[in-house]
Structure 1
């Protein structure tokens, strides 16, 4: 007994005392014997994996600090590289790239408790995070597919363009100051035969909150959700994982999701533990750094960012006490310009890439104002996950879109097709647009399109009197718009131009009653904009404490939708919008209800409409048909039950998103029916 006690007080490698508090990190192995961290690290790096006292073979041991030479390029990955929090399975040192790749556990001083075995009982030395660079991304595979072969081109179609004037005819003697033309684009579907070849591979960074509030079931569900993401990325895709609490760490470099890559990524995820405060700024900065310092780039780059709390390191306390409406947090100026374009310098000559941040507010205590602002600035989505069990489905819906990008850098250019026809405005949400040449030319920058994704915009024109038509017995025509769409093709990497049909209207002397009816597709798009504007206005009113006014506004908007032409026709989009307004109204019933769920629900809806892209809201996940009307039944909407049965939650859900959510739900069902082995 005394011998064992003595052995535990002395390091078997150097024979010096291993008591804590002497300025050296201590490593305690799973056999309960303790050694100086530097001593056991040197031993392990020389291939010794057994305890020198009891001769038990270790399964876990510390990763030794490599001799890093900044002038030596990062190694080519030929075998798995595991990046957990300093505990590694027993493989030869060369399998981990000791020669040149610093382990991420050394990027910040460790402040979280170690696992029960292989435990560091004193903090590792802080080595200066500012000096660490992330140019160690795994090289992309060389693709030699023939672009003209059936395997790579099968099923890949061009973008479809549609254009619909609000009415087919305007009297020749009439001039109209606001005449709407609906312009829409729809991306082609993905081919099942060549799905990986016909969509853009992605570089994805998961920025995950592991602060103390994420403990217990939250962290367990988050790990399972990230495992799902890992399993559904393909070999051309790359993933990096960043976690943050009081500080931020990259725990897994940007690696391809091959079989080995998936296995190592899951090991990194499983090493996560919840402790500390919430440093959102450092987490996002670290995630952006991974993308900015890549040596090679996949065509698509995005960040998925999850947090269940407020930034406790940079948060402005005035936001919690001021009676004024809450604004975007002041710490946005600390974020890089690649996710917050407002921070770009006016002298920047080189165009900077923007990385969309798809933010997930987890539970009722997160900061929806901040997360909405971050996603909105970057062109990403903001989802509100009200129920913890939904996190995997929410991730599934998001990556279902990200893993189906078929068109990039898409632009829509519209030109006046007749003298006197002038473009007055373009209703396109948060998409950048510009009107030039005195109203003769307009452009909308859409960016990436998911497979089967559709975007619709209203172009508002002035239509002049038809000159020289007074003495004619027949009717003339007025050409309104020429439409061109251009984008970069995923397979050929070349820009593709698609010409739309010329938009024309008839100009009779007298307009018949049928020609006075507004097209239902134009009417439903106006309803969508009307509902989105109502939600934004109600949210502003709720921020000032005017919940009665906010609810009244939303109720009036619902009534207007029901009495519109498309509403009377039982249009499914109008049904969905009416249900959304009803649920938003309910969540603004009181200050407490609004703070807990109403603010996040409204902001997520505003983001969804602004980019015409599906988001998880409350207890409803886009593409989850079983939850299609979880926020409102058919009888409460005023629409026929048959119409309610045909709609799935989210007007912007794509087939690939729905398929991924269904896959997630089936996996959840299988895990529930299978007894746990734990």
Structure 2
């Protein structure tokens, strides 16, 4: 009887999950069959579903996961861990598990080493697992390293031991894997950078970094009016400082490889050290974890060999899956295997995951030019408490997080954390707080199906940094002029004693990114001159590729001073537009405070009043695109405050993601899409849009992903109130 059931399971392959009757050979029950776990996570990660994935990476059969007879064929011919073909001979041993699915032996050993004791294909719990024996020299003429890069010895590839029952630690609410390898005390085992200081993946890019570095930033200034009568003075006169980073030097891939998708532009750029901190608590089980793995697969495939990646998985505790490793072909395969080994279980300890992620950045021996952490969670932090724990239920991450994550760290070492909260149960306030402290952005993912798009938009920016350590200095020129305020959102700013000079610390800029800052000054009466000099702006920044520091100065900002009977100049649409943006952001912040105090009607009234005021401005009357988008965004927030339930489920997170986007002037994912409004698009850069387009095209091209996500799109997510 048992052998017949084994044959049936093998024949079914990936098609469905079946309940197997208990026999004398099988004394333990199989895990429950969840319809969301019927799909192979390894197949979801497969580059075969991604259109024009990197041609240098080994890929499985192009038929991939089809949920028919081809799925069984895929399972038989392909190792579902490393996604390469199963082939007898050639020094590679094949391990057939008790559930009848076959894998490379060294892949299974690696999977088990990461704590996974579940079949990646059918999700059956293994009672017997393979272990790697002591290392011996390989036979002459045989390779000792498999395609995934792990040492192996074919003479000892048949070692199998009985797995003891899992030990449950009730105090930590986590099933502790007995075979998990201990982590080092210091994470200084990062892979060496070698001589790669520039990411240029095509030989035709070797000279593309040449050019005048002073053209990396364009700077413009706009006074609120171009002329003021000599007899008129102003206590609060506004000057707009506009900065725009140059576009990357774009070169087409000259390998001659033509793919179905548009080729992603090959351009010299600064390499990235990226640490992803991923929530694998029990609430992530099923479709969420499968789609998260696919999103991580997209990230892994789009990093270059000069980029390094490490992954932290956290639930009740946190563990590092692998050290900072270059995403070469071997590195990508190893990263895919580690991500595929993840199993959802336990509680949610966000702070512990972040501490471990920061430790990786702090302990590394070498550093790439760009460093960042991506945090994703769908739940409340169930382990982190602060203060009394009763009067202050929200964790104080300002005190809990390492100094290296603080945006105002005096050492100058800062790790921005781009946080992603999705679903109705995540702690939007804490996630937003983490991103604000560190200088990162907070994104709200309402539907699990867009996790990959949200990640794609984020890394599209990180892989295009052209300016670092940017600081803007504003100096008064006229002897009687003093600075009143610097409106810079979340960017640190300060006025020096006397009010004659001010500074704004901007940090990194992506290619084509823009920043707008409003400076308030007083303008005195001008009895004699025909013009009044106001300000001079200076930018100091570092080129992440050449490491050179450059200073760029603007011309003097002046306004004309006509005779006593003259009329004021025309109001600048550019200044008026940015004033509207700041006014809308202030209204969002006030509405959020009112909503948190339980006054939803008052919050809606604040937003409505702001919409009325903005509609009467010069830029709104000229149908300015930003003003139209601001009105649409404020209206959306009003609708998400229709009731307490709606606000708790999506309104709070939507407002916080909007505040994050405005305060950093950087694109965030909001609601159920990354491009649901023209306002989001106004902050997106071409690099973000290009990576987002790639993500959407590859996702839609995968039949497996379509079948997996279709139930979510039809009935799995809560619709927005209208």
Establish whether TM, by shorter chain, passes 0.5: yes
Do residues 224 (structure 1) and 282 (structure 2) align? no
| 8 Å contact kept, 2:654–2:671 | yes
- Alignment correspondent of 1:375: 435
In structure 2, how many angstroms separate the alpha carbons of the residues matched to 1:576 and 1:111? Answer: 54
Q: What's the offset of the Cα at 1:500? A: 1.3
What is the rounded CA distance, in whole Å, between the counterparts of 2:605 and 2:180 in structure 1? 56
1:275 lines up with 2:345 in the alignment: yes
Map Cα deviations across residues 365-394 of structure 1 (whole Å, 9 max, x no partner).
000111000000000000000011010011
Q: CA deviation at 1:667?
A: 0.9
Q: Distance in 2 between the 1:476 and 1:112 partners?
A: 83
Instruction: State the partner residue of 2:513.
Output: 453
2:242 is the alignment partner of 1:176: no
User: Is 2:526 the partner of 1:482?
Assistant: no
TM-score by length of 2: 0.71
The CA deviation at 1:676 is 7.8
Equivalence for 2:696: 665
Task: Map 1:80-119; keep pairs closer than 5 Å.
Answer: 84-85=114-115, 92=144, 96=150
Aligned pair 1:305/2:375, yes or no? yes
SS of corresponding position for 1:360: strand
2:420 to 330, 353, 360: 360
Q: Does residue 504 of the first structure (1) align with residue 558 of the second (2)?
A: yes
**Equivalent residue for 1:330, pick from 382, 396, 403:** 396
CA RMSD, Structure 1 to Structure 2 (Å):
3.6
Give secondary structure in 1 for the equivalent of 2:316: coil
Distance 1:376 1:111, change over 3 A: farther
Superposed, which structure 2 residues align to 1:159-558 within 5 Å?
A: 159-193=217-251, 198-315=268-385, 328-330=394-396, 332-340=398-406, 351-467=411-527, 469=528, 476-510=530-564, 512-513=566-567, 515-558=568-611
Q: What is the distance in 1 between the residues matched to 2:668 and 2:680?
A: 10
Distance in 1 between the 2:683 and 2:250 partners? 21
Deviation at 1:517, TM superposition (A): 3.0
> Please, which runs of 5 or more residues in structure 2 have no aligned partner?
2-26, 29-90, 118-129, 133-142, 153-163, 169-174, 253-264, 709-722
Q: Shift in Å at residue 150 of structure 1?
A: 3.2
Tell me if structure 1 keeps the 8 A contact 2:197–2:545: no
CA separation in 2, counterparts of 1:577 and 1:110?
57
C-alpha deviations, 1:274-293, integer Å up to 9, x for none? 11111111111111111111
Map 1:104-143; keep pairs closer than 5 Å.
Answer: 123-124=177-178, 132-143=185-196
Whether 2:150 is the aligned partner of 1:150: answer: no
Q: CA deviation at 1:152?
A: 2.3
TM-aligned CA deviation for residue 560 of structure 1: 1.1
User: CA offset at residue 61 of structure 1?
Assistant: 6.5
Deviation larger for 247-256 or 196-205? 196-205
How many residues were matched structurally? 562
Partner of 1:586: 639
TM-score (ref. length: structure 1): 0.76
CA contact (8 A) 2:114 2:341 kept: yes
Given the superposition, is the C-alpha separation of residues 499 and 149 from structure 1 closer, same or farther in structure 2, using an over 3 Å criterion?
Answer: farther
Cα deviation, residue 596, structure 1: 0.7
- Relative to structure 1, the CA distance from residue 592 to residue 110 in structure 2 (aligned partners, 3 Å threshold; closer, same or farther) is farther
- In the alignment, what sits opposite 1:609? 662
Q: Residue in 1 aligned with 2:719?
A: none
Matches of 2:312 and 2:538, distance apart in 1? 41
